[in-house]
Amino acid sequence: MDTYGFHSIHGRAPAIASGLKIARPDLHVWVVTGDGDGLSIGGNHLIHMCRRNLDIKILLFNNQIYGLTKGQYSPTSEFGKVTKSTPYGSVDHPFNPLLVALGAEASFVARTLDRDPKQMQSVIKRAAEHKGTAFVEIYQNCNVFNDGAFFTWTEKDTKDDNVVFIEHGKPMVFGKEKNKGIRLEGFTPTVVSLSDGKYSVNDLIVHNERDTMLSFILARMSSLPELPRPVGVVYSTERPLYEGEMTRQIQQAIQKQGEGDLEKLLNHGETWLIQ
């Protein structure tokens, strides 16, 4: 890949990426972060990037631990997690990254798995094609400090019965035998059997990437142990780009007032010379 990258200040990658995108809107800008970096010290920066809708792609690798700093619990670590910084178990309620991104109104929200490269490739391709802030959570194994955290959802023996791969316009079917589905009872998703004759695929939720309410229901499923976890594009919509609106404002100001004079701006009004 013909690309250039650099390490930013810890947690501040969204702020640096925002400045870069505003200054050079022609560039393809990606932020690669983790659950600790992106949702703790960098959480405030991340939510404002999402709400502004800059054309930036965020890959958040979630391993439910601080891997780089040697195994402290992170904002996504499960309740009761025993780590070096929580020897008696974490008492924090964990963040749900998809809900954070949706709550901040990112215009594209998705999830993929580190051990499913084909599916991950398709999700990242969709994110790259999206015009706006694209947030992708990636379940990533940390074999040093949190080995097996996502094996229920990533390994061949258990994945089919615990993951529902969602696709726009298709019913939510899952299971090794494709004999289970997700049905809505009011606003509550439930698992139903497709093999006993009571329900068919016509009774299941048909995924709609543009449905805001459905996106929150799907994201919330990850916090409910009795439900499979959705993987794929949860939400996608279009709205004006931040850098586009800023460029438009600058052009309007130039047309109305002419080119700016930086020296005049710095020395207008009362100034002091300190010797």
The CATH number for 151's domain is: 3.40.50
pLDDT at 3: 84
Domain-located, residue 272:
no
Q: Is 0.85 topped by the overall pTM?
A: yes
pLDDT at 265: 82
Structure confidence by residue, pLDDT tens digits, 6-38: 888 888 999 999 999 999 999 999 999 999 999
For residue 1, pLDDT over 80 is answered with no
* Pair 94, 194 in one domain: no
**Percent of the chain topping pLDDT 70:** 100
* CA contacts within 13 A on the Cβ side of 231: 27
Number of independent structural domains in the chain: 2
- Residues 104, 232 within the same domain: yes
Question: Strand order in 180-185's β-sheet?
Answer: 173-174, 180-185, 188-193
Same domain for 187 and 51 = no
Answer yes or no: do 47 and 70 share one domain.
Answer: yes
Q: Band of the pLDDT at 66, cuts 50, 70, 90?
A: very high
The answer on 243 and 112 residing in a single domain is yes
Mean pLDDT for all residues in the chain: 95
Predicted local distance difference test score (pLDDT) of residue 32 = 96
pLDDT > 90? residue 2: no
| End residue of a domain, out of 206, 228, 250 | 206
Task: Please count the other Cβ atoms lying within 10 Å of the Cβ belonging to residue 46.
Answer: 27
Residues 81 and 144 in one domain: yes
Say whether both 79 and 202 belong to one domain: no
- Are 109 and 154 within one domain? yes
Does any domain span residue 43? yes
Residue with tokens 């200054």: 23
Look up residue 25 and give its two tokens: 């809107």
Structural domain harbouring 115? 13-170+207-258
Cα–Cα dist 262/257, whole Å: 14
